[in-house]
């Protein structure tokens, strides 16, 4: 299953977040992992426009086309 992970490069709550995300990339081959610079633990709150852009791009790629969904 495709997975989208967005995290803050300056996360102070999870100090080893870069290492954790490297493991995610290794263990979940379908994962797309992106670090937002100048962002802490809550990218959806701290950088909502960037977060939303990444999420929408991912959803558009992964959503079935209307024709194939039967609508």
- Contact between 47 and 35 (Cβ < 8 Å): no
pLDDT over 90 (residue 68): no
Q: Which two tokens stand for residue 37?
A: 């610079």
Domain boundaries, the chain: 3-69
Task: Mention every residue, 6+ apart, whose C-beta is less than 8 A from residue 3.
Answer: 24, 28, 30, 31, 32
Question: What is the rounded CA–CA span in Å between residue 13 and residue 52?
Answer: 22
pTM of the model: 0.79
Q: What is the pLDDT of residues 22-65, one digit of tens each?
A: 999 999 999 999 999 999 999 999 999 999 999 999 999 877 76
């Amino acid at each position: 299953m495709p997975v989208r992970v967005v995290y803050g490069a300056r996360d102070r709550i999870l100090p080893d977040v870069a290492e954790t995300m490297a493991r995610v990339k290794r263990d979940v081959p379908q994962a797309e992992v992106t670090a937002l610079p100048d962002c802490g633990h809550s990218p959806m709150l701290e950088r909502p426009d960037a977060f939303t852009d990444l999420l929408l791009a991912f959803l558009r790629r992964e959503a079935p086309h209307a024709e194939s969904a039967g609508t």
